[in-house]
Amino acid sequence: MKKVILVLIIFLFCQALACAAVLKHPEFYRAESHWISYSGEKFRLCRITSNGASKIVQRKTIKVYFRENVSILGVTDKRKLKRFFDRLPKNTFSIKITSHADTCGNHNYNLELARKRGWNVYQFIKEFVPERVEVIGKNNGENHSRGHIAHDRYVEVVVEYWNPRESISKIVLFDISGSLHNQNIGHTTTGLTLNDLKRVKLPKGVLAYVPRDFRYKCQGQDLNNYHPRGEDFYWEAMTLLSQSLKGKINGVVYTDDTDIEGQKKEALFNSINKGNIRWYIK
């Protein structure tokens, strides 16, 4: 009897507050991921980090310092970089290389010197960079230099990665399809237009996406940048996310696909998909 009561308490707690969960498939943590629906159609999932949604991004940094007028990596620096990349987090998705010079000498000379430093670092580390990891380079030259000191002669490498063990409290899908207009032509069940959705505040720990017709690219991680285009793909996204989830949470879909059978479709979907998430259409 006590066991039954305990199970009931846990169930009610999860219903009220939504228990935490993680996604087993690492692709869901990317800024953009590509999927094939059960009907064979390709679509994109665009990560949204605006509106208070979780970024789930962590960083590791390493700096390599150079002597004056030198752009070649030394043996010690190569060993240091190799150790850093040997320990590269498994879920790395972005590497940013920023090169610097001090203010000694001509501005254009320092700009070129910083460029060579950054390029030489990239040439050395590129064999250690996993496939599909984005590498971005930036040359600051003598900008941000504090003067003629050794600490301004360096290249900084910043690695960004996600933590798949970080818990998620809820998943939100924004259906930015062709029928959801900026004006009041299209709106969700709760009466929200696209402009209203852009002002929705999400609680901490929410993972948010825009399911996107594959013909149209993601428009960044800020919902304010999105324009209504394409077909609905939120049902396909709901299916894939349900199957990948480990733990129990709620999911919310903001969509203008609001026919009179909407609640029946929602109930049917939740009964068929035996995942650990209960979806609500709004």
Residue 259 pLDDT level (bands cut at 50, 70, 90)? low
Higher pLDDT, 118 or 5: 118
CA dihedral 5, 21, 17, 223 (to 10 degrees): -160
Residue 271 pLDDT exceeds 70: yes
Q: Across the chain, which distance is largest between two alpha carbons, in Å?
A: 82
How many Å is the Cα radius of gyration of the chain?
A: 24
The DSSP H or E segment spanning 163 is: none
CA distance 31 to 143: 30
Query: Using 50, 70 and 90 to split pLDDT, how confident is the model at 256?
Result: confident
Mean pLDDT score, 127-147? 81
State the pLDDT confidence band at 19, using cuts at 50, 70 and 90: low
- 60, two tokens: 């590791």
pLDDT at 1: 38
Q: What one-character DSSP code corresponds to residue 168?
A: B
* Phi, psi of 281, rounded to the nearest 5 degrees: -95, 125
Interior CA angle at 33 toward 29 and 34, to 5°? 150
Which pLDDT does position 233 carry in this prediction? 92
Listed ranges 81-85, 139-143, 184-188, 274-278; the one with the highest mean pLDDT: 81-85
Per-residue confidence (pLDDT) for residue 80, from 0 to 100:
96
Q: According to DSSP H, which parts of the chain are helical?
A: 2-17, 75-86, 107-125, 194-197, 234-244, 262-272
Q: Which tokens go with 240?
A: 């894939």
CATH dotted code for 58-161: 3.30.1330.60
Mean pLDDT of the chain: 83
3-state secondary structure (DSSP) of residue 211: strand
**What's the pTM value of the predicted model, to 2 decimals?**
0.69
Is residue 132 over pLDDT 60?
Answer: yes
Answer with the residue of higher pLDDT: 188 or 157. 157
The phi, psi pair for 136, rounded to 5°, reads -120, 135
Higher-confidence position of 228 and 276: 228
More confident residue, 230 or 209: 209
Indicate if the pLDDT at residue 258 is higher than 70: no
Q: Does position 13 have pLDDT exceeding 70, yes or no?
A: no
| pLDDT at position 187 | 78
Q: What is the pLDDT of residue 55?
A: 86
251 CB-near residues (< 8 Å, 6+ apart):
170, 171, 172, 173, 238, 241, 242, 277, 278, 279, 280
